[in-house]
Amino acid sequence: MKAPISVLLFALSALVAPFALHAEGVADWLAVEAPYARAVPPGQPNSAVFMILENRDAIDHALVAAASDAAEVVELHTHRQEGGMMKMRRIERIELPVGESVTLAPGGLHLMLIGLHAALQPGEWIDVDLWFENGTRKRLTAPVAAFRAPMRASGERDRTNAHVSEGGKDTAGH
């Protein structure tokens, strides 16, 4: 009886191994820095998630979808200047050029949480799944923060108008 069980386990591991290796490949090429979801008061149906995505692979990739248990739908969004006004628009993908970091920040690229299941409060955490054009996925856990200063193109935070950040701590020295 031991031989058939070991054969079965070997066969099962042969079937599962490619998926495990494929999923682990995401962590090898994608670095996620400073993820956070914006807190919202009760009754507010939507929020957003921000982060920095760094493609450490030798080829270009693209973020094509996202999901979270915190909301009914998660969409990829950007802000565009239209008729002298900034307007938020859904986009199909966020390009991740080889060797570059892409910042998802207020006023720019972001993940839009639509149809929140509950108000997001500072100090809570939410899970977010990211899917890429090659079929790989990355799960991350993001803290909920009341406010963070927007990112500069250099990846540094613009603290000019920042007063409250994660955990309600004053990070601007005020």
Q: Which of 100, 73, 112, 82 is nearest to 154 (CA)?
A: 100
User: Does any domain span residue 25?
Assistant: yes
Looking up residue 78, the CATH number of its domain turns out to be 2.60.40.1890
pLDDT above 50: residue 172 = no
User: Does any domain span residue 172?
Assistant: no
Q: Which pair of tokens denotes residue 58?
A: 């030798």
More confident residue, 128 or 147: 128
Which pLDDT value is given to residue 127? 98
User: Does any domain span residue 101?
Assistant: yes
Please count the structural domains in the chain.
Answer: 1
pLDDT in tens, 72-122: 999 999 998 888 898 999 999 999 999 999 999 999 999 999 999 999 999
- pTM of this prediction exceeds 0.85: no
Distance, CA of 14 to chain centre: 31
* Cα angle for residues 33, 54, 145 (degrees, 5° grid): 25
d(CA 98, CA 165): 31
